[in-house]
Amino acid sequence: MKTLKLFLSAILIVSLLTSCEKEEEVTNPFIGTWENTETTVAGSVVATLTFRADMTQTVVFVVDNNSAISTISNDYNYSYTDTELTVSQPGGNPEITEYTISGNSLTLLPGTNDETTYTKI
């Protein structure tokens, strides 16, 4: 009888351990550094977006107008849904942009017909 109780207890414990479903881990698709380069006759602009796991982001623009190079950098907080990226500076108004991610390409669709594609580097 004691052996039967021990055996049934062992089966119950194994059943409980194997029947528990593991929670799916959600991976933030933005984490990393993304870059876009635009070139015109007036020069070039390199935009670099760095998204971190703590939901902060740094945006750096390097502008080369063929005679001088300037750098602009800003820090933001961000959040996202399946289709929208929300970015805001502390104390500022949030800006919401539609996006798509496919492989190493992030395309931002800011409400106009203009879209910008960034490549993960």
Locate 56 and state its tokens: 């902060």
Q: What is the dihedral angle through the alpha carbons of 35, 91, 112, 28, rounded to the nearest 10 degrees?
A: 50
Tell whether 23 is covered by a domain.
Answer: no
Tell whether 9 is covered by a domain.
Answer: no
Query: How many of the other CB atoms lie within 10 Å of CB of 118?
Result: 20
State yes or no: pLDDT of 89 exceeds 60: yes
Tell whether 8 is covered by a domain.
Answer: no
Average pLDDT, the chain: 84
**pLDDT: which is higher, 110 or 107:** 107
Tell whether 17 is covered by a domain.
Answer: no
Tell whether 13 is covered by a domain.
Answer: no
Q: What is the pTM of this model?
A: 0.74
Percent of the chain with pLDDT over 90: 64
Question: The CATH number of the domain where 41 resides is what?
Answer: 2.40.128.50
Tell whether 62 is covered by a domain.
Answer: yes
pLDDT, one tens digit per residue, over 37-81 is 999 888 999 999 999 999 999 999 999 988 899 999 999 999 999
List b or e across 70-106, with b for residues whose CB sees 16 or more CB atoms inside 10 angstroms. eeeeeebebebeeeebebeeeeeeeeebebeeeeeeb
Say what the pLDDT of residue 40 is: 85
> Range of 36's domain?
32-120
Q: What is the arithmetic mean of pLDDT over 92-111? A: 92
**How many domains, the chain?**
1
Query: Confidence band (pLDDT; 50, 70, 90) for 22?
Result: low
Q: What is the arithmetic mean of pLDDT over 100-107? A: 95
Burial class (CB in 10 A: 0-12, 13-18, 19+), 67: exposed
